[in-house]
């Protein structure tokens, strides 16, 4: 079984914000795969599908970003999902908009959602896909930046990055092959 978790915050006020790229990517991925209908389970919105004969769970934790690990751990523990079959999708202020980084493992890089997952699982050896949202002009306003709104140029770059990343995500779901890659759209 594979688990794909897109990180974000629940609620209309957070829709479309840079911090919610994980939710947006999961929505795009399930639409691309023709999967319909989220249900609620373990404090998450969840869809299921069988891809290349393997069961896949797509989740959007509803615990708010800083407690994402609690929801992810419930699925991992209940379904006994190995770390190498987990992909976490999040935003990254250290990457500019339009840049995407796929990594096999690593630290949290200051991201509270990833920190929560690492703490809850006791390990950071899961796959991650990080989408650039850039740093704010005012370095003391990180929260306002990630919970703010995209400019039209940033929206376009991000949509293009989503589309490029989509084929790598589908490849992982179909083959379990995950490559450390980075790419940028302009």
Question: Active-site residues: which are they?
Answer: 19
Hey, is 48 helix, strand or coil? Answer: strand
Return the number of other C-beta atoms located less than 10 Å from residue 11's C-beta. 10
Distance CA 45, CA 23 (A): 10
Nearest to 18 by CA among 98, 106, 88: 98
Helix (H, G, I), strand (E, B) or coil at 122: coil
22 dihedral zone (left: phi>0; alpha: psi -120 to 50; beta): alpha
CA dist., res. 42 & res. 184, Å (int):
35
Read off the tokens for 80. Answer: 């006994």
- For residues 18 and 3, give the distance between their C-alpha atoms in angstroms, rounded to a whole number: 22
Question: What sign for the dihedral angle of Cα 67, 30, 83, 158?
Answer: negative
Distance in angstroms (rounded) separating the CA atoms of residues 16 and 21: 8
């Amino acid at each position: 079984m594979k688990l794909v978790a897109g990180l974000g915050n629940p609620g209309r006020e957070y829709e479309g914000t840079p911090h919610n790229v994980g939710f947006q990517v999961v929505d795009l991925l399930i639409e691309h795969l023709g999967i319909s209908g989220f249900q609620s389970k373990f404090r998450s919105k969840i869809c299921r599908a069988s891809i290349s004969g393997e069961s896949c769970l797509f989740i959007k934790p509803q615990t708010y970003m800083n407690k994402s690990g609690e929801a992810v751990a419930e699925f991992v523990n209940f379904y006994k999902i190995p770390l190498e079959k987990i992909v976490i999708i999040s935003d990254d202020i250290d990457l500019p908009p339009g840049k995407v980084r796929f990594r096999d493992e690593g630290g949290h890089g200051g991201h509270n959602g990833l920190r929560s997952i690492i703490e809850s699982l006791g390990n950071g050896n899961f796959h991650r896909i990080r989408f650039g949202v850039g740093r704010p002009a005012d370095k003391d306003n990180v929260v306002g930046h990630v919970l703010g709104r995209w400019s039209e140029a940033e929206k376009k770059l991000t949509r293009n990055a989503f589309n490029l990343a989509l084929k790598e995500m589908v490849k992982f779901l179909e083959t379990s092959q995950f490559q450390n890659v980075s790419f940028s759209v302009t």
